[in-house]
Amino acid sequence: MKIRPLSAGLTLVMLCAVATATSVQAFSQPSAEPASAAVPVDCTPAPANPTTDNVADYRLDTNVVAPGRWSYQSVSGNATGLLGKGGSGVFAADEWAADVKKPEHAWFVKADGSIGTDDRAISETYTVADQADGKNLHLSGTFESPGGRFRVLLAHDGDSAVTAGPFTELYTYTGKAASFDLDLVASKGDDLLFVSDQVTTWWVPGKLKATITTELAPQTATVTATPGPGAIRSGNTVQLASATKDACIRYTTDGSDPNSSTTAKPYRGPIAITADTGLKTVAAATGSAPSVVADLPFVLNEPFRAFAGENQGTQTGLVAGVQWDRMDFDWGSIEPAKGQIDQAALAEYVRQFTLAKSHGITILPVLGYTAGWAANRTGYSYEFHGKTYVYGPVKSENNGQFTRQLVTKDAHGNVLSTKDVQTSIGRTPPQNPDDWKSFVKLAVDTLKPLGITYFQVWNEAYPGSGFWEGGMDQYMTDIQLPAAKIIHDNGVKLVYGGWICGAPLSEYIALLDKYKAWQGIDVYDVHYMPIGTMQTIYAAAQKRGIKNPAVWQTELGFTTEDKFVADIYPRVFHWALSKGGNDLDRFKLLYFAEWSPDDPAAYGYNRTLRSGNNLSPKGKTLVTLANLLRGAKAETYDNFTTTPELKPELNEALSTANGFRLDDKRLVLAIDLKRQNQANIFEDPNTGDTIHLGFGEPTMTVTLKDVRNVKSLDRVDLYGNRTPLQWKSSGHDTIQVEVPIIDPDPIVKALNQTEQEDVFYLSLVQN
């Protein structure tokens, strides 16, 4: 089994300034299931199959190759070498380091399964026990890292005391998170190498969790769930089953092992899911070994989660439990030569999309880019902004680039310049548009059965963007319109490929008018635009007969502004809810990007939701906002007043207050006060009154109407710190409260002071 390494996401080439200058989802106990006698609860399983894993069997005393144990090695080609024990400071006695003089530059392996390397290959190696000769081995596990390549190799050397190549490649993956599930027949002396190399930064930590099972006894079939794991509506039930006849099932909801945990319950009937619930299940049948423990995560499908997303996340959980991610579905990887489909690459995409779905994540596939063999090599031309660009035949190809002559002419045909240029092969228009159509059809046929209903066509197709080396007319006729027909003929939906922030929005509208393309696009998508442009597109679509337009920004952010999420997301979420309807997919914001190294010199540092292993300030603010806006039902709440007066605003330069009612029992107000000059003054434009936001203990008055039986009212800061507030009645079902503006927490206070605005929330709970 060989799987081609695939890109984990999109690469941003062109960025624009937007108008404004760890916690992941928790799993809770489901409600009790009804009693039933349909499933037996008392089985006598055979002894568990012999297993070994890289953490439990870690040894500190020696590092040797021996039957039934793990060793730690460097790998170079077909040669291996054992790592030496040593190091100091953070590289203490529980680690292996290759260079004791400079341990910070070395490989290392920790007892918890963490590994570290620079650009060299390091392997955690398991030598198969002699008694497993001729038996089936089952390998399963995960590898997580911020970047690099991960491989599983087999050394079939017949010697239990050495590890020698050549190696058979069982699995390979390039990216941040891999899950593997492999079977093979073992031979005496076989070594299984779990290799990390080709890292994307100077030093990258990663963690392997591998379990190796020798199947000496029949194994009970793994537990499955109906519906399958993933997003689910609150109150829906889940049924568990094993394909093994008369199997008994046990499960836990607290993350513990159902084989041994005292909290494990026997499964007797459907389980109602009323909160995020992580089921761990195991099945056993009399005379058979227990099944592999199955992780079956369920997350509640909620409006804010469906509204929010990110780019380049993991398939097993996004920041704050948001439910949308986005990744390339790459033509060249899938079809490396005309008509030759790389089935292993296709299977890897299917695995990633399926894994994401099981964790409640929907991936938006970006269909692109031109396969190398399909790119135009004979020459082409296009007109753009009053000039004609004529690309000649390809002169040479090197490192993914064409070298060809470019002649630029003015509107009268006069030659303005002639020069040789390099252009991206993958961003070149296809020679034959029919080849592109075949790829789009393959993408839809592959992903639609997985429940994927939205397909994005290309990314930021525009001259000069770095993603398209052609004209917009050529893009519409050869790429966009043919893809739209194929996608709609197959009953799924098309997302425009992100109108780039460097191009006028009026040009986007004019382009869709020119090709009468409004009806052929299900989602109008822009990138890094001021959020008010979403209303502009919405209104333009309605004017052209689209009753309920869908408008997304599938890339925004990538900013150093730590309060960007807290400022922007409540404004757009309120605007989206104000449009009414129950379709959770009409409006979305996907932050770019999820992760960057925690290194000031790294690309993307301080611009992403995670920095290394930790949430960035932007990630923390997203967690706070998502926790506040949890709920199966969300609607706008506008029956309030503030002094100074604030109201919903899409204009990011203005102060705003946006109210939400959640599950008919909670209210949340998101308040954003912009400091209007260097003296930190906020002026109420209606009364002329002022508040000095840096002097004394300023407050604002908030009056909340249509509230009953108030249980609690808290001020919540950007990082989720709560301050209980005292309120007073000011009329029928109306309360009034004085809200401190300055944050009591010094870290959050400094954050607000730095960016010249104060963002905080009010959270009210009714009995």
Quote the domain boundaries for residue 410.
380-427
Which pLDDT score is estimated for 207? 82
- Residue 605: DSSP 8-state: T
Identify the band that residue 62 occupies on the pLDDT scale cut at 50, 70 and 90.
confident
Which pLDDT score is estimated for 134? 86
- Residue pair 109/124 in contact (Cβ under 8 Å)? The answer is yes
**Nearest partner of 267 among 256, 258, 275, judged by Cα:** 258
Does 448 map to a domain? Answer: yes
Q: Is the same domain home to 365 and 514?
A: yes
Q: Give residue-wise pLDDT tens across range 262-278.
A: 999 999 999 999 989 99
Does 5 map to a domain? Answer: no
Q: Which residue has the higher pLDDT, 686 or 735?
A: 735
Q: Is the same domain home to 322 and 459?
A: yes
Q: Is the same domain home to 320 and 355?
A: yes
Annotate 621-640 with b (16+ C-beta within 10 A) or e (fewer). bbbbbbbbbbbeebbbbbeb
Identify the band that residue 114 occupies on the pLDDT scale cut at 50, 70 and 90.
confident
Whether 101 shows a pLDDT value over 70: the answer reads: no
In a 10 Å sphere around its CB, with 0-12 CB exposed, 13-18 middle and 19+ buried, how is residue 327 labelled?
buried
Does 75 map to a domain? Answer: no
Let me know how long the chain is.
Answer: 767
Q: What is each CA distance from 26 to 23, 254, 255, 354, in whole angstroms?
A: 8, 10, 11, 21
Q: Is the same domain home to 277 and 325?
A: no
Q: Angle at which helices 505-514 and 532-543 pack, to 10 degrees?
A: 20
Domain-ending residue, one of 300, 328, 358? 300
Which pLDDT score is estimated for 20? 33
Least confident of 145-149, 501-505, 623-627: 145-149
Q: Is the same domain home to 312 and 183?
A: no
**Nearest partner of 618 among 553, 574, 568, 670, judged by Cα:** 568
Q: Which residue has the tokens 């599938």?
A: 554
The CATH number assigned to the domain holding 322 equals 3.20.20.80
What SS3 class is residue 439?
helix
Domain-ending residue, one of 195, 215, 235? 215
Does 96 map to a domain? Answer: no
Q: Is the same domain home to 702 and 754?
A: yes
If you average pLDDT over each of 190-204, 222-236, 442-456, which comes out highest? 442-456
Q: Is the same domain home to 240 and 357?
A: no
User: In the numeric block, which tokens belong to residue 446?
Assistant: 């592959």
Does 565 map to a domain? Answer: no
Share of the chain above pLDDT 70, in %: 89
Domain-ending residue, one of 427, 461, 491? 427
Whether 18 shows a pLDDT value over 70: the answer reads: no
Whether 286 shows a pLDDT value over 90: the answer reads: no
Q: Give residue-wise pLDDT tens across range 455-473.
A: 999 999 999 999 999 999 9
Average pLDDT, the chain: 87
Whether 710 shows a pLDDT value over 70: the answer reads: yes
Q: Is the same domain home to 295 and 402?
A: no
Q: Is the same domain home to 642 and 748?
A: yes
Does 90 map to a domain? Answer: no
Which pLDDT score is estimated for 16? 52
Rounded to 10 degrees, the C-alpha dihedral 739/744/748/754 comes to 80
Pairwise CA distance, residues 155 & 186, whole Å: 11
Fill in the amino acid letter for 479.
I
Q: Is the same domain home to 733 and 643?
A: yes
User: In the numeric block, which tokens belong to residue 132?
Assistant: 């497993």
In the chain, count of helices (H) and strands (E)? Answer: 11, 48
Which pLDDT score is estimated for 482? 98
Does 570 map to a domain? Answer: no
Does 607 map to a domain? Answer: no
The CATH number assigned to the domain holding 291 equals 2.60.40.10
- Residue 732: DSSP 8-state: T
Q: Is the same domain home to 442 and 536?
A: yes
The CATH number assigned to the domain holding 193 equals 2.60.120
Total domains, the chain = 5
- Residue 428: DSSP 8-state: S
Q: Is the same domain home to 458 and 353?
A: yes
- Residue pair 123/194 in contact (Cβ under 8 Å)? The answer is yes
